[in-house]
Every structure is written in structure tokens, then in C-alpha cells.
Amino acid sequence: MKKLIGKIRSLSYEERLVYTTAVTMTVTVLISAGKILIGLFSDFILVVVGIFGVLLFAAKLQCILGAKKTMGNFKLRNALIALFLLSAGLIYIFYMGRLLFFDVANEEYGQFQAVATATISFFEMGLAIYGLVKTKNKGHYFRDIKIVNFVSGMTAIMTAQIALTSFTGANANFYSGLLGVGIGIVTILLAIYVYFTPRISIVDREHNVFLLKEPEENALVDMNGKTAEIVLCKSKIYSACVYRATITGTVVNGHIVKLKSGLRQINPFAKTVLIVLSEILVFAWLVGYAAYFFRALDLPGKLESMMAENGFEKTADPTAPPTEGDRTLL
């Protein structure tokens, strides 16, 4: 047992993430299969819920197979993950939308069951947010695992709300339905993001090399220096992004990096607690991050455009091995 614990501690966060996800998704698919089986003989809505769980399982499975370097086409695997999330979002909208149009009986929860369900749900959501905060630029598959976990966390919060309102005796079907439909829409938007993010994010596209072709047009980089830094996106709260490079002759060779802002320097655990416990902070953070997200779209493309306007041409670095994104997307 000590050896097993020691081995687990020696793993990186990403390696632990893969193994814990494999365990949890195995439990999830068994529960989902049970719901489908029971629903076939009792309540069709259980079949819908079970299919939702199976779709999240399928998305996670593709993520794990990709993270474990299992043979497969990245573009196809990424499209499948997005398709599973999209389907899950549509099914959840159908499942929760029925509360808006039909007189559905409230699920009955006792005091202990309601509190226990809410506690577990908030814990699951906290873990999902912590994972999103901690897993930065570790690769497409690790990000996708955390996105799927975040979807699971959102549905867990929905379950917590239903449990608590049932315990208090309030009939909040209409508001629960609205929130549930909103979660389904967010899931669909995340599916679209997963599909397009390899083309717009900096993951696997950090390294950029440029060759100065027309020196008379260059007003951006001081070619007499040894290094250069170009600001691509400014932010005091979120991560500012810059291109840092070394200069050798007419070649500018560097990487796009994210600088730590005040928010990023907060301990991840403390940040997670603040986000989970403060609804106002969640709203403000999400609105601000949404604006930052659109400003930071396709920074490699923005960098290439800036360099092209100043007489540079993007070129391959012969010393760098091709990345996952280089092999499949270029």
C-alpha cells in the first residue's frame, strides 16, 4: 500500500488526472448503463439521463486514449469529443426543458439526502474549477478532460439545487428548467470551442520562427539586439501574452508565453474556494474572462500578421521536432 501511495505521489498532476478520470468514468458508465436498463422497463426519462452519462463517458474515453498516445488521428478524435459534448448538451436541454412545459412531480429528498447531495455536488464543481485553473497549456486532451469534468460539475450543481428545493418544500421546477437549459447551452458552446480550439489556441503553436525578408518595412523588431519581446494581449487580471524571441542574423526565433497576473498568482486552492463560494465573483470573473477570451483568440495568427506587416515571413525551425498540432493541423 505504501508503495502504491508513493507511486501515486510521484506522478505529475496530468498523469494522476488520467488515472483518476479512468476510475471515475468507469463508475459513471456503470451507473449510466443501470439507469438505461431500469428506464427501459419503468421511466423513459431515466434512459435519457443514462444516455447523457454515456456520452460524457465516450468523450472522456477519447481524451484518455489521446493523452495516452494511443494511435489515432487527432483531428478525428477531437471532432468526436466535440460531437459527444454537443449531443450531451442537446439531451440535457431536452431533459431539463420538460420542466418548463410539463407538470413534473418534484423528486423527494430527505434532509440528510439533500445535504449530502448538495455537499458532494459542490465538491465536484470545486474539483472541476480547480482542474480548469491548474491545467494550463498541457495539451488539448488534458484541457478537454477538464471541460468534460466541468460539464459534469455543472449538472451536479443542478442536482444539488433540485435536492435543496425539494427538501425545503418549494416548487422551483420552472427556474430549475431555465437553469438546466442554460447548462445545456453552455455545454453546446463548449463543444464548439473544443472543435475549433486547435485552430485558435496557442497550445502546440507556441513556437514561432520568422525570417526578415524586407528590412526596410521592419519597424517592430530591433534586429541589432539579441532578444525581442512583442506584446500580443494585455491584461492586469488575466494572463498577458507576449512573444519572446532571440535574434540571430535575420532570424527571429521564439515562443508565445503567458505572464502571471495578479489573479494567477493566487494559490489555486484559495482561488477555487473564492470562485465556488461567491456568486458575484463567479459572474464578474466569467464576464471578464469572456472579454479576455475573445481578445486572446488566435494569438499565433495575430503574431504572424504583425510580423508579415513588418517584412517578416514565417518559417519552420529545422531543429524543432513536429508537435501533435503541427502533424495534424498544418
pLDDT by residue for the chain (330 residues), tens only, comes to 566 556 656 666 566 667 777 777 777 788 778 878 877 776 666 787 788 888 988 998 888 888 776 556 788 888 999 999 999 999 999 888 888 887 766 666 666 666 776 676 676 666 666 655 555 556 788 888 888 888 887 887 777 777 677 666 656 678 888 888 999 999 999 999 999 888 888 877 889 999 999 999 999 999 999 999 999 988 777 778 899 999 999 999 999 988 876 555 666 677 666 666 655 566 676 677 778 878 888 889 999 999 999 999 998 754 544 444 333 333
Q: What is the pLDDT of residue 323?
A: 42
The residues with which 248 forms a beta bridge, in sequence order, are 251
Q: What is the pLDDT of residue 175?
A: 80
Nearest to 244 by CA among 214, 208, 277: 208
Q: What is the pLDDT of residue 280?
A: 57
Q: What is the pLDDT of residue 171?
A: 64
Q: What is the SS3 assignment for 223?
A: coil
Q: What is the pLDDT of residue 214?
A: 92
**H or E stretch covering 241:** strand 241-248
Asked if residue 210 lies in contact with residue 254, where contact means CB atoms within 8 angstroms, the answer is: no
Those residues whose C-beta lies under 8 Å from the C-beta of residue 75, and which sit 6 or more positions away, are 198, 328, 329
d(CA 32, CA 56): 10
Q: Pull the grid cell for residue 109.
A: 429528498
d(CA 254, CA 210): 9
| DSSP type of residue 215 | G
Residue 235 phi/psi, 5° resolution? -165, 130
CB count within 10 Å of CB 208 equals: 21
d(CA 238, CA 165): 36
Q: What is the pLDDT of residue 25?
A: 74
Q: Is the pTM of this model over 0.85?
A: no
| DSSP type of residue 217 | G
d(CA 63, CA 72): 11
